[in-house]
Chain A
Amino acid sequence: MVETTSHSFTGPHGPKPKKALSRRNIFLYGTLFVVTLYYALPLYIMIVTSLKGMPEIRLGNIFAPPLEVTFEPWVKAWSQACTGLTCDGLSTGFWNSVRITIPSVILSIIIASVNGYALANWKFKGANVFFTILIFGAFIPYQVMLYPIVIMLREIGLYGSLTGLVIVHTVFGMPILTLLFRNYFSSLPEELFKAARVDGAGFWGIYFRIMVPMSLPIFTVAVILQVTGIWNDFLFGVVYTGPDSYPMTVSLNNIVNSTQGVKEYNVNMAATIITGLVPLTIYFVSGKLFVRGIAAGAVKG
């Protein structure tokens, strides 16, 4: 049924807890507290360290809160840290990452969603063969494909261009995204698709007018997965583009993996957090929609 397909997953389903201070609740919240601590600890360490000065870090207690809060490392990581001769920190890389991420995310999602839709609703001969190969592709380590892709991009004249990199991200994002979209579209009532066909809507008409408007959750998931993956990519960014469009991770790598005498842990941590900020923000903002979308994309199928 239309109205129950993708919108009813949000309520907890477990047995209802009883009294507020039952033994069960103490155990439940106790466990969750410890678990939350374990997951939050590294972030805490990163933040705390990034706010300390180097002398304080040498004291050695990574868990202690900063005695004297300084934002110097953040400023340095963002705009002053040297990577080779370039001494403008992560700031240039940041905008390059934005320029890489936005078109890559958009293109990969458009293609994968159309794939998923074609696979779910327009089963044509051989579709499953290609889909199976695609799933196999999800398991290929990127390093293995580095040279073949260099050669392919060279042959189509896109090597070293932003377009080439966008295509590479689209290709490697395709397997998992197609799987998610295919599962999602399969979970939508098929009668809707049939009704639209009777109504004379074609392949694209149904996709844009019927499917896309119903797919906000899965598009959210796709955006999150792709932004995370592409934003954090180092290998493709450095191999398939030139230095004028190196993503932020290249700067991060240069900051973290080269030192001037002493390792500046505070700057490293600040750089690390700054780099992770974009995907983190998207996670925190999209919260509930993410779970709902995952539910819709992964549960059915």
Chain B
Amino acid sequence: MNRSTQLLAATAIVAASSASATELEVMHWWTSGGEAAAVQEFAAAFNATGNTWVDAAIAGGESARAVMVSRLTGGDPMGAFQFNHGRQAEELIEAGLLRDITDIAEAEGWKDIVNPSTLLDACTVDGRIYCAPVNIHSWQWLWVSHKAFEDVGLSVPTNWNEFVGASQALADAGKTPLAMGQQGWQQSGAFNVMFAALVPSEIYLAVYGDKNAEVAAGPEVARVFAAAADARDMAATSTVQNWNDATNLVITGQAGGQIMGDWAQGEFAVAEQVAGQDYSCLPGLGVTELLGTGGDAFYFPVLSDDAQIAAQSELAALMLKPETQVAFNLKKGSLPVRGDIDLSSANDCMQKGLALLADGALLPDTNMLLTSDTTNQINTLFTEFFADASISAADAQADFVKIISRAE
């Protein structure tokens, strides 16, 4: 146990000496600045209940998932763990490794407060609830650096088309028009954003929801691939790997913008940038304003120790409490999962997101529609596509069609 949690635990015990102190190991891969600050809110709240949050952070979702699944199969489960909700956890639930938390959900009235309700659906298997959604993350944002455009004497673009139009000027000034980390999930993520924003939603749902290969081969999708090819040209000089390194290029004005999920917000916050003043955020690339409703959820493995089970229940209930939701999501840069809370303290970008959420301009997230196997194949496809300018949009689309036709 580390010093800071010890300290927190100590204060917590003083504060709520009636509760018994149970250590609960919580595993997640939120190690980057804004993420860690957000987790800290959960930990603090949990420790305030008299329990102790034992933090098990492993950088990199891949390593973390390997550990989580190993621990579960190995019969040494942690108390709770972060996972992308959606289809990834289905198997763990089928194998009976995860705790059914329907009773907590009912006691807390999650059905009534979670908005959009699809979030809870993603946690539900055969009518039982297995996870606590903690936030809504949406991918569909274009982050634009005001500094970069001021440097070249242009006005800040308000949508993707203007952004593409201004890219040459940025490139001429030695800037990278579009910052893009060279990792498959970032590249395919950017593609999916364009997919959601540049063509009608029906197409998106037909391809990812119904796995309709014909639509995937069609002219609308071809337009998306053409846009992706543009993005590839704009990102040609972006050599960073990690998403936050790419975001940093935007923060420092070395790059014009970045297509990245709302978690990038946290990096801007850490860098003390002000939305609308230092940077702009354009949901749906400023073209079709809508949001995907992905997000993170916490799952609770089946445990045998009663004290720990009680602690799990407390944690699950706590995560959706209004005050925790506010504190967590402000730090994380994501949207709260309940519509009944006041987020007036949120900044410009989050207000935009909340508005869209209230309007119901929503799309299901790819994680809910696709298996991680399919996602992974799409990631690989776009890694290749973005790294190799000689791959034509048409070739890439053909591969894409193949993946969709094979998807379950």
Interface residues of A (CB under 8 A from B): 82-88, 92, 146-147, 150-151, 153-154, 159-160, 234-235, 238-240, 242-244, 246, 250, 253-254, 256-263
Contacts and interface: CB of A to CB of B under 8 A. Distances in A.
B248 interface: yes
Given A253-B59, A253-B60, A261-B251, A83 B31 contact: yes
B270 A243 contact: no
Contacts of B25: 242-243
Given A238-B63, A254-B57, 16 more contacts: A84-B57, A85-B5, A150-B73, A150-B74, A159-B76, A239-B66, A239-B70, A243-B27, A243-B55, A254-B31, A254-B58, A258-B35, A260-B32, A261-B251, A261-B267, A263-B245
A31 to B, nearest CB: 34
A256 B60 CA distance: 11
Interface stretch (B36-44, B109-117, B349-357): B36-44
B321 interface: no
A239 to B, nearest CB: 5
A113 to B, nearest CB: 30
Closest 8 CB pairs of A and B: A84-B57, A160-B76, A260-B33, A258-B31, A243-B56, A159-B74, A257-B59, A85-B55
A87 B267 CA distance: 19
A85 B244 contact: no
B254 to A, nearest CB: 11
Nearest to B25: A243
8 contacts: A84-B31, A85-B5, A85-B55, A86-B4, A154-B74, A239-B67, A242-B78, A262-B248
A14 to B, nearest CB: 45
Nearest to A82: B36
B270 A86 contact: no
A234 B64 CA distance: 12
B33 A85 contact: no
Nearest to B74: A159
B54 interface: yes
Nearest to A263: B245
Contacts, number: 120
B5 A86 contact: yes
Given A147-B73, A151-B73, A154-B75, A238 B58 contact: yes
B32 A92 contact: no
A88 B3 contact: yes
B39 A84 contact: yes
Contact of A260 (B2, B4, B53, B270): B270
Nearest to A234: B63
Contacts of A235: 63, 66
A146 B68 CA distance: 13
B74 A261 contact: no
A85 B66 contact: no
Given A239-B66, A243-B54, A243-B56, A153 B36 contact: no
Interface of B: 1-5, 25, 27-28, 30-33, 35-36, 39-40, 43, 53-60, 63, 66-67, 70-71, 73-76, 78, 242, 244-245, 248, 251, 267, 270-271
A253 B271 CA distance: 23
A235 B281 CA distance: 38
A87 B76 CA distance: 25
A87 to B, nearest CB: 6
A123 B78 CA distance: 47
B74 A153 contact: yes
Contact of A87 (B2, B66, B270): B2
A253 B63 contact: yes
Given A147-B70, A160-B74, A85 B242 contact: no
Contacts of B55: 84-86, 243
Contacts of B63: 234-235, 238, 253
A151 B60 CA distance: 24
Contacts of B244: 259, 261
B2 A88 contact: yes
B145 to A, nearest CB: 14
Most buried by B among A86, A151, A242, A263: A86
Contacts of A259: 32-33, 242, 244-245
A239 B74 CA distance: 10
Contacts of A159: 74-76
Most buried by A among B73, B76, B242, B245: B76
A152 to B, nearest CB: 10
Nearest to A152: B74
Nearest to A238: B67
B242 A84 contact: no
A92 B56 CA distance: 13
B2 A92 contact: yes
A261 B271 contact: yes
Contacts of A153: 74
A84 B244 CA distance: 16
A289 B55 CA distance: 43
Nearest to B30: A84
A85 B59 contact: no
Contacts of B54: 243-244
A261 B246 CA distance: 10
B147 to A, nearest CB: 15
B95 to A, nearest CB: 13
Contacts of A263: 242, 245, 248
A257 B31 contact: yes
Contact of A84 (B28, B71, B270): B28
Given A260-B33, A261-B270, A86 B57 contact: yes
Most buried by B among A147, A151, A257: A257
B71 A160 contact: yes
Contacts of B28: 84
Contacts of A244: 1, 54
Contact of A83 (B5, B57, B67, B270): B57
Contacts of A84: 28, 30-31, 36, 39, 55-57
Contacts of B242: 257, 259, 263
Contact of B4 (A85, A242, A253, A258): A85
B71 A254 contact: no
A86 B39 CA distance: 11
Contacts of A239: 66-67, 70-71
Contacts of A146: 66, 70
